[in-house]
Chains A and B, each alone.
Chain A
């Protein structure tokens, strides 16, 4: 059996190569806990978004609170951005451990150290790909949402292994100095002189201040009171046709002509007693309802608007649909993803779920879905289907 060469006396494996006191357990523990919390928030809110877009048999997206999706995805993106400095700082603090020699001492150690690769690489991948996605920048060939979702599971699995391995070290490192001194074994040094404490506080203050600053200059894309500070947001919640952004334009969707055609009709069919074919004038003649609802994008921006149109439930009743009806909403858009979206029973029967004709008192602009778009409480923006032409009752 081949033995590993002894590198313990060679740089960078030699003890003392890294001289900064900041490569210590307490600094690593503080950053580790912050990252554990932020990654858990990102994972939970990401899973929620996934379930909202790909409903499971055991989960039905509720209609209320209306701003729940807006809150969770704003939190998802803000937490992800705030995690970037935390992760980079944490990796710098633990960097000397990369050169520990021998690298493994027992089986548990092998597992713990091997799990660091998916944790570190996965963390960098999740934050990097998420940052690119909010900028609508895709320098790769894979599908962002599918890949981001599955790598999230790999990363969070590695985090669980890491928490199991480091829980005692973290707990020990975070105890007050007096407890650590009292519990130190004979000959064990407890490093925490005032200079080291000042260094650590200064370092952590810089890292957390950077996190806070990034949050301040980006979160305004969804949190209106901070909108004036949103200097690094790739979107502004108040910039766009009719005062809010669009993700896919009518030109990109290829609906410039079909959406403006005098032949435009809305068809209501499927599991109904009386299929309907309605012109734009028919829809305008129906009882109109207005609701203040957010449009919230998975990329982290959102905007609340006053929408006016025909409640979906009124159309379902007029067509004689069942009380448990679900609806597949079809767009005029002929290609690309999100041409259709499904509205579950709860959302379909919410009075504020509208086939909107107007926003902010004006007719919808074509980039916001003219002549007709779906707008419903607590839904991902990509599922607020634009240029609606058919309601398939199921």
Chain B
């Protein structure tokens, strides 16, 4: 099902409020850039610049198109009533894996192998447990949405009393 996109109702920037924000904001950014450069080599400015650019490109060229593609597939495969819970379940699962990734891979423990207070849990089980919670919640949500969206069938009426 295709849906017309909403019109872009954003207001073009301008006016005193914009320029005040721009002057203050650019001033703060310049302060940050100067500080970053002054603190070199601790801040490794080239590596930071590469990291910033890389994260932006990674998101715009990979993550966002992937999310749009998955969204499109969901739109084509699923009835409208269950799209939101399935989308939420997929989104939450992806974010849970991202947040749990370093612990799952024991990167911290590998960095400080003699510190047994780092990554003390079985994170494979932990991540699976959280994903199970996510999908139980998504399934319940989907069931409620689907039941609510069902067309109401005409029920047989009782004969009128004599």
Would you call B78 an interface residue if the criterion is a C-beta within 8 Å of the partner chain's C-beta atoms? Answer: no
Contact, CB under 8 Å: B92 / A232: no
Q: Give, as a whole number of angstroms, the nearest-CB distance from A39 to chain B.
A: 13
Name the B residues within 8 Å of A16 (CB-CB): 4-5
Report B64-121 residues with CB < 8 Å from chain A CB: 64, 67-68, 71-72, 75, 80, 83-85, 87-89, 91-92, 95-96, 98-100, 102-103, 107-108, 111-112, 114-121
Question: Considering the chains assembled together, what is the distance between the CA atoms of A136 and B103 in angstroms?
Answer: 10
Question: Considering the chains assembled together, what is the distance between the CA atoms of A166 and B92 in angstroms?
Answer: 28
**Of B9, B39, B103, which is within 8 A of A232 by CB?**
B103
Name the B residues within 8 Å of A246 (CB-CB): 115, 117
Contact, CB under 8 Å: A153 / B29: yes
Contact, CB under 8 Å: A140 / B47: yes
Name the B residues within 8 Å of A81 (CB-CB): 99
Name the A residues within 8 Å of B48 (CB-CB): 125, 142, 147, 151
Would you call A51 an interface residue if the criterion is a C-beta within 8 Å of the partner chain's C-beta atoms? Answer: no
Contact, CB under 8 Å: A106 / B32: no
4 closest Cβ pairs, A-B complex = A164-B21, A206-B88, A202-B84, A153-B32
Contact, CB under 8 Å: B51 / A125: yes
Name the A residues within 8 Å of B30 (CB-CB): 157
Q: Give, as a whole number of angstroms, the nearest-CB distance from A2 to chain B.
A: 24
Contact, CB under 8 Å: B29 / A118: yes
Contact, CB under 8 Å: A136 / B112: yes
Q: Give, as a whole number of angstroms, the nearest-CB distance from A157 to chain B.
A: 3
Q: Mark A238-249, 1 if CB is under 8 A from B, else 0.
A: 011100011111
Report A63-122 residues with CB < 8 Å from chain B CB: 81, 84-85, 88-89, 91-92, 95-98, 100, 105-106, 108-109, 111-112, 115, 117-118, 120-122
Question: Considering the chains assembled together, what is the distance between the CA atoms of A95 and B64 in angstroms?
Answer: 7
Contact, CB under 8 Å: A150 / B39: yes
Contact, CB under 8 Å: A115 / B25: yes
Would you call A172 an interface residue if the criterion is a C-beta within 8 Å of the partner chain's C-beta atoms? Answer: yes
Would you call A124 an interface residue if the criterion is a C-beta within 8 Å of the partner chain's C-beta atoms? Answer: yes
Q: Mark A149-172, 1 if CB is under 8 A from B, else 0.
A: 111111111111111111111001
Name the A residues within 8 Å of B116 (CB-CB): 240
**Of B18, B32, B96, B100, which is within 8 A of A157 by CB?**
B32
Contact, CB under 8 Å: A154 / B115: no
Contact, CB under 8 Å: B98 / A23: no
- Given the interface contacts A125-B52, A141-B44, A143-B43, does A19 sit within 8 Å of B114 by beta carbon? no
Residue of B nearest to A29 (CB): B10
Name the A residues within 8 Å of B115 (CB-CB): 246-249, 252
Would you call A174 an interface residue if the criterion is a C-beta within 8 Å of the partner chain's C-beta atoms? Answer: no
Q: Give, as a whole number of angstroms, the nearest-CB distance from A312 to chain B.
A: 27
Contact, CB under 8 Å: B130 / A231: yes
A interface residue numbers (CB < 8 A to B):
15-16, 18-21, 23-25, 81, 84-85, 88-89, 91-92, 95-98, 100, 105-106, 108-109, 111-112, 115, 117-118, 120-122, 124-125, 128, 131-132, 135-143, 146-147, 149-169, 172-173, 188-189, 191, 195-196, 198-199, 202-203, 205-207, 209-210, 213-214, 217-218, 231-236, 239-241, 245-249, 251-252
Name the A residues within 8 Å of B120 (CB-CB): 235-236, 239
Question: Considering the chains assembled together, what is the distance between the CA atoms of A123 and B130 in angstroms?
Answer: 25
Residue of A nearest to B95 (CB): A85
Q: Mark B10-47, 1 if CB is under 8 A from A, else 0.
A: 11111101111110111111111101100100111001
Residue of A nearest to B125 (CB): A231
Question: Considering the chains assembled together, what is the distance between the CA atoms of A161 and B24 in angstroms?
Answer: 8
Contact, CB under 8 Å: B43 / A160: no
Contact, CB under 8 Å: A252 / B114: yes
- Given the interface contacts A234-B103, A251-B114, does A210 sit within 8 Å of B28 by beta carbon? no
Contact, CB under 8 Å: A25 / B95: no
Contact, CB under 8 Å: B47 / A153: no
Question: Considering the chains assembled together, what is the distance between the CA atoms of A135 and B107 in angstroms?
Answer: 7
Contact, CB under 8 Å: B99 / A137: no
Contact, CB under 8 Å: A109 / B12: yes
Contact, CB under 8 Å: A213 / B134: yes
Contact, CB under 8 Å: A152 / B107: no
Name the B residues within 8 Å of A100 (CB-CB): 8
Name the B residues within 8 Å of A156 (CB-CB): 28, 32
Q: Give, as a whole number of angstroms, the nearest-CB distance from A182 to chain B.
A: 15
Most-contacted residue by chain A among B21, B44, B63, B88 (CB, 10 A): B21
Would you call B126 an interface residue if the criterion is a C-beta within 8 Å of the partner chain's C-beta atoms? Answer: yes
Contact, CB under 8 Å: B32 / A161: no
**Of A157, A239, A251, which is within 8 A of B117 by CB?**
A239
Name the B residues within 8 Å of A168 (CB-CB): 11, 15, 17
- Given the interface contacts A85-B95, A105-B12, A209-B88, does A153 sit within 8 Å of B100 by beta carbon? no
Can you identify 28 A-B contacts, CB atoms within 8 angstroms?
A19-B3, A19-B72, A81-B99, A95-B60, A95-B64, A95-B68, A106-B14, A108-B18, A117-B52, A142-B43, A142-B47, A146-B43, A150-B33, A151-B36, A154-B36, A157-B24, A157-B32, A168-B15, A172-B9, A191-B7, A202-B145, A203-B87, A206-B84, A207-B88, A210-B88, A213-B92, A231-B129, A232-B103
